[in-house]
A and B are shown apart, each in its own frame.
Chain A
Amino acid sequence: MKKAVFLLCLTAFIFSTVLAADFPTKPITYVICFDPGGESDITARIQQPYLEKILGVSIVITYKAGGGGATGWSELVNRATPDGYSIYGTNLPHIILQPIQGGVPYKTEQIENIYFFQTTPCTLVVPIDSPIKTFEDFVKFASGKKSVLIGGSGQPSANSFATLRFAKVAKLNLTYVPFTGTGTAVPALLGGNVDALMTYSTVSVQYKDKLRTIAIATEQRVPFLPDVPTFREFGYDVVEKAFRGVAVPPGTPSEIKRILEAAFAEVNKNPEVRAKMEELGFVMEDYNEEQAKELVARLIPYYKELWDETQKMGK
């Protein structure tokens, strides 16, 4: 009996070391914490065939939606097996804001992001037939007004904070009106219920024929919207974007993390992937595990401050 247990342990030991040495040997589950058909799903679907080619196993995409991603991320830190065979899509600022708001069973620091591969920067858009043609027109229109209505997706969100920040540095009376998503924000703008939208680059690209983008909240102009100036070009320091990346459960061996990190880096280099992503309005970024950690550490106090500011305003 003892012998059997020993043998069992031995095989298990050998098996596990072998597993770590040549990972992966079985399909990897890529969990999307939002519904199918959303931007996270679309991104994962573009990456999927390339990841499969690089890692040599199939990538199974599954969905764990709910609570704006919180359901999936709680599972990631509390229940998922740290063997590299389940990886989870993550989003900034979501994974920073949700713990600040409270009530979610995970902490930002518990999420081990191994790569951030893209961003969707905030953009300021008006209807295509609006008399506001340029950013200067918008500032002129907004100056001295009691309230200019800026719609956007969610609150707190990158959109709401970009609006807050813009109002502050430009000294404009902007009222942020949150919508449940771009699906309701875009018709609100087209129907004249709000004056402009603070939205994402993906909306700017996908609704090109209906909306005019007058400014983008990035450090430099983005390749797929070359004529759109940045806020900084006008002297307003507004840089705000949502990041999309991938994380592994806490405790995943670092050699496995290296393999996954390298795979995502390689996918991001592929010109076909880049073309497909940019066509949809995603900005390609490369943050490996270390850089991702730095980024999150830098953003936590930043978002904490913005959240406190919003809380004060509400009172």
Chain B
Amino acid sequence: MASFHYLLNAIPQILTAKILLLMVGGVGIGLVIGALPGMSATMGVALFLPLTYWMTPSESLVFLGSLYMAAIYGGSFSAILLRTPGTPSNIGTIFDGYPMAKQGKGWKAILIATYSSLYGGLFGMICFLIFAPMLARIALKFGPPEYFWLGIFGLTVISSLSRGNTLKGFIGGFIGMMISFVGVAPIGGNVRFTFGSSHLISGFGLIPALVGLFCIPEVINMVVQRGQKQLFVEAKIERRTALNTFVEVMRKQIDLIRASIIGFIIGVLPGAGGNIANLVAYSEAMRASKNPEKFGTGVMEGVIATEASNNATVGGGFVPLMTLGVPGTPVDAILYGALLIQGLRPGAELFTTRADVVYTFIVGVIAATLIMVPIGLLFGRGMTKIVYKIPIHVLVPVILLLTMIGSYCVQNNISDVYTMLILGVLGYVLRRFGFEAGPITLGLILGPIAETGFTQGLLMGRRLDYPWTIFFIRPISWVLIALSVVFLLWPLIRKQGPSVAGGKQ
């Protein structure tokens, strides 16, 4: 157990004033960036990367790692309180977190998100420590055909996400995919569906689209529903809510572990991250639940699923980065550059040549996950109070301003602000007709993954007599196909279950 020895050695390393300060700073910045609509973890890490060029490798990694972990968690605040995913990893948190906030239980939802994030974050980091080399090899077997099926599998989540009308859910997913096709094709480089506009060349950015689709319709609602002075009224907070909620969340061990495993595995796959993990975990939680119909009305398990899974992707993403030198999530791609600039080459040899840096980083991120809790609670409590106190006529312009700043910041580009506003209005109209934002964003996220996998797969298949058969001859593809079929048919299977057992209630 050489690594255990390194771990112990790393603990005093992080207990220096400078590293501790960097951790607290990273967590603080991460929380704010995460909570700001439009500012994602990827952007936050990219934004603060240049600041680390003057730090030592350990300091730089600990700082960026803390920022990353905290941003993914901080995104839950705006998801819960403002119905805006702070980062693409918090989309699913809206589904149950926002209804909770509306019922006056915003503070409780934030507590649940906090403890789940802590659990998922630690779980992911520990799995990274234990399973890293083994899993990296399996992740490599994941080729283009598997990414195509992962995209399809992800879409089947719609059947559980869209309550009520599954058909409308799939149409929504289809609309999302169509939006994702605009711009330069990921393969081949042809420019399509831009109608000659140079604004549309790089397509619709995911972040402006998310902010637009989720937040703007709600803002319009606030304005339309006149007479309402407050967004919502906070329920009376019982004594020891923080402690009691902690016990409540920890009792949901199975939900926590399930979500964390899903997050970790999806994090390991290069190119897929928290944006997919949180939705898959949400739908899995729903599938496993005895009362799936309650999901979306403000149940605890919904928030646990998304928030534990997205923080678990952090550790998952480190697996390919640290063992193969291949980034697991978009943020890891930036961390890769951070390592190179420090003169370190990410990969397995880093564990032997610069074990001090690697283990300081791991211990540092674990410590930051713990630090995240008190700072997060302080910040979350403040934000809850503000949102509950501010009258709507102040809140609406503030939210609008924040969403516009956030969308602009993605690329310092005004066309992203237009994208956000246009999709926001579109989202409002579609919502009136029963098309929810969830399936649309799922299509938007998965469109490029499925498309890239499909075209690459067909190219790979050229050596076969029929190129398309490549999608059906690989074992991991079979697993994904089977999962997709089960998921797709689940609502039907489910419907038959109770009616046979207990009849109509």
Contacts and interface: CB of A to CB of B under 8 A. Distances in A.
A8 interface: no
Interface stretch (B184-192, B219-227, B256-264): B184-192
B411 interface: yes
Given A36-B49, A63-B46, A191 B186 contact: no
B196 interface: yes
A91 to B, nearest CB: 15
Interface in B172-194: 183-184, 186-191, 194
A225 B456 CA distance: 30
Contacts of B46: 35-37, 63
B489 to A, nearest CB: 30
A234 B461 CA distance: 30
Nearest to B326: A187
A254 interface: no
- Place the interface of chain B in its size category: 35 or more
Interface in A137-155: 145-149, 154-155
Interface stretch (B106-114, B241-249, B330-338): B330-338
Nearest to A276: B343
B459 interface: yes
Contact of B189 (A101, A145, A176): A101
Nearest to B183: A67
A83 interface: no
Nearest to B187: A178
Given A71-B411, A184-B270, A187-B140, A37 B49 contact: yes
Given A36-B49, A101-B190, A155-B187, A147 B327 contact: no
Interface residues of A, number: 54
A235 interface: no
Nearest to B412: A64
Given A37-B336, A190-B140, A74 B411 contact: no
B287 interface: no
A191 B191 contact: no
B452 A180 contact: yes
A177 B198 contact: no
Contacts of B53: 45
A225 to B, nearest CB: 16
B25 interface: no
Contacts of A74: 198
Contacts of B50: 36, 61
A34 B349 CA distance: 28
B133 interface: no
A191 B187 CA distance: 20
Given A37-B334, A66-B202, 13 more contacts: A35-B333, A36-B46, A36-B50, A36-B334, A67-B202, A70-B201, A147-B463, A155-B187, A180-B452, A187-B140, A188-B144, A193-B144, A207-B325
21 contacts: A37-B334, A37-B337, A37-B341, A38-B337, A41-B337, A45-B53, A64-B411, A68-B202, A101-B190, A102-B191, A145-B463, A147-B463, A149-B459, A183-B327, A187-B140, A188-B143, A191-B139, A206-B345, A209-B347, A209-B349, A280-B340
